[in-house]
A and B are shown apart, each in its own frame.
Chain A
Amino acid sequence: MNGKEDRVLKIKTIKDGIVIDHISHGRAPDVLQILGIDNQFKDSVTIAMNVPSKILGKKDIVKVENRDIDSNEINKIAIIAPNATINKIRNYRVVEKKKVTLPKSIVGILRCPNPSCITNKEREPVRSVFIVKQKDPLVLACKYCEREISGEDITLSITT
């Protein structure tokens, strides 16, 4: 296999689906988890990790055929990959391109890791709310119990 074919394989285009680019390096598996893609998924999935990037140094890319993405999933991706861009592909063409944005508060996406937090009590009419205290690196604080979370704890708190 020559170098050109190799490159073609890496950047193989998809007919319909989504391309998530500029994922913070090492985070592609977390993106797949957010999208609920596991070994039962039938369509083609391409993952590129540690790809050289001018902006990020290194980045991950995920391409999924025949899959759309909703705003809830985009918000989750924003938490673990704040620079990601979402490209929607129809008939080999990018029909929509947008950068994820981290909202000031994140509602209903994370489960508070504090078992004593009111948001983990059954039957109370409450959704989790996390306030973004710091963007880089990301630090979030539960609006209710005020517990701050960062790093891997954030990834572990994303509800699937």
Chain B
Amino acid sequence: MDWNKKHIISIKDFSRDEIDYVLKKSALMEEKLKSGETSSLMKGKILANLFFEPSTRTRMSFEASMKLLGGQVIGFDNASMSSEVKGETIVDTIRVVSAYSNVIVLRHSVEGSARLASEYSEKPIINGGDGANQHPTQTLLDLYTIQKEFNTIDNLRICIVGDLKYGRTVHSLTNGLENYDVKLRLISPMELRMPRRIIKGLREKGIEVEETTKLNLRDCDVIYVTRIQRERFPDPQEYERVKDAYVLDLKTINNIEDDAIIMHPLPRVTEIKPEIDNTKHARYFEQARNGIPVRMALLCLVCNVKF
């Protein structure tokens, strides 16, 4: 398949073939990384990391990826460092920075900022998160983690736990999973259920969806946990009531499938107890590590660097 995407803005822009292609190239990149064959792929190229919102994982992961490819990184990790404080529009910033770099990663709290940026940039834009909307590289690394573990995504039983109403990560993940033949169990407090339109879309694509408020983790291959944020609850008492209902500890995972994996986009707070970290099920730190080959592959793909 020929890569024809210049920008990575939303997982919804990807067909199944395109996702599969990224996963395949990511696996290839991981092999090349292990054998030290990546260090000059992006030599002489510059990545501009424009992080108008603070981020550690995504920003550092892109920076490490570019450096492992032999490229250079410029940018900022705080809006106060940008000309936005002087009143510059996102579009003007992008026009200027696209003259300084070969590829731009943009994180901004304004939803749709990456899509607009892609309309004005001469250079590829990778969306590093636009507010509550999309974070496509997180979804691709999530899918890569699942694929790497099971060698398939089809026919898996995937359980997603936590804030399913506001969580950008889980919305993008379900958008990505829509392309596969999976069974979903969605576990959340009633107040934080997955939006109806997403459930409807999943069912229209023939995906079996079960919704429950009970932390039932049995009969699942993948357990994807997300944080429940206090600020989502208008009533603090309500938060206190539900927060402990979705905490994974050794007892709650006692009856999960032997080869089930536990994922989390991180940062976690209390929803996965540290006692799980050393179990055979924990994959969240490996999941974060998988961001490297996936982002390395994406940087090369959008810059038309063959590997």
Contacts and interface: CB of A to CB of B under 8 A. Distances in A.
A118 B110 contact: yes
A144 B89 contact: no
Contacts of A56: none
A117 B110 contact: yes
B148 interface: no
A157 B130 CA distance: 22
B116 A144 contact: yes
Interface string A129-155: 000000000010011111110000000
A126 interface: yes
Interface residue tally of chain B, by bracket? 10 to 19
Contacts of B115: 118, 143-144
B133 A146 contact: yes
Contacts of A139: 197
A123 B134 CA distance: 23
Contact of B197 (A116, A117, A148): A148
Contacts of B109: 116
B89 A116 contact: no
A146 B10 contact: yes
B196 to A, nearest CB: 10
Interface in A98-134: 114, 116-119, 121, 123-126
Contact of A116 (B12, B91, B111): B111
B131 interface: yes
Nearest to A147: B111
A51 to B, nearest CB: 33
A147 B132 CA distance: 10
Given A123-B89, A124-B90, A144 B112 contact: yes
B113 interface: yes
B131 A124 contact: no
B131 A116 contact: yes
B110 A116 contact: yes
A139 to B, nearest CB: 8
Contacts of A114: 111
B16 to A, nearest CB: 19
A105 B131 CA distance: 24
Contacts of A121: 110
Contacts of B131: 116, 145
A146 B134 contact: yes
Nearest to B134: A146
A117 B91 contact: no
Contacts of B110: 116-118, 121
Contacts of A144: 111-112, 115-116
A145 B89 contact: no
A94 B109 CA distance: 52
Contact of A118 (B87, B90, B134, B197): B90
A119 B91 CA distance: 12
B112 A117 contact: yes
30 contacts: A114-B111, A116-B132, A117-B111, A117-B112, A118-B90, A118-B110, A118-B111, A118-B115, A118-B116, A119-B112, A123-B87, A123-B89, A124-B90, A125-B89, A125-B91, A126-B116, A139-B197, A142-B112, A144-B111, A144-B112, A144-B115, A144-B116, A145-B111, A145-B112, A145-B131, A146-B12, A146-B111, A146-B133, A146-B134, A148-B197
Q: Which 9 A-B pairs have the closest CB atoms?
A: A144-B112, A145-B111, A118-B112, A145-B112, A116-B111, A144-B115, A118-B116, A118-B110, A118-B113
